[in-house]
Amino acid sequence: MLNDKQIKEIADSLLPTFIPKNDAETELTFNFTVPPKHTYKVWYEKGKTAWTFIKFEKVEVLDTL
């Protein structure tokens, strides 16, 4: 299990991939998975000049096999 700082660092490194093309957007969320099976959902809000990490939650993914 990752700690809060590690989750934020990973999310921040992935953030450029998810920034909306529409400049009017002020919120975004995305999920990412850390092997083997740790999935997290993160939330960001856009301030005047930058996106700010708001929170995260661990996502329980059910095996479908």
Q: Which residue has the higher pLDDT, 4 or 64?
A: 4
63 pLDDT higher than 80: no
Q: Which residue has the higher pLDDT, 65 or 15?
A: 15
Does a structural domain hold residue 41? yes
What value does the CA radius of gyration of the chain take, rounded to a whole number of Å? 13
Tell me, letter by letter, the H, E, C secondary structure of the chain. CCCHHHHHHHHHHHHHHHCCCCCCCCEEEEEEEECCCEEEEEEEEECCCCEEEEEEEEECCCCCC
Among 56, 51, 65, CA closest to 33: 56
Please indicate, yes or no, whether the overall pTM of this predicted structure exceeds 0.75.
yes
Domain count, the chain: 1
Boundaries of domain holding 28: 4-59
pLDDT tens digit sequence for 7-58: 999 999 999 999 999 999 999 999 999 998 899 999 999 998 899 999 999 9
Does a structural domain hold residue 8? yes
Give the type of residue at 37: K
Look at residue 65 in the predicted model and tell me its pLDDT.
Answer: 64
Does a structural domain hold residue 21? yes
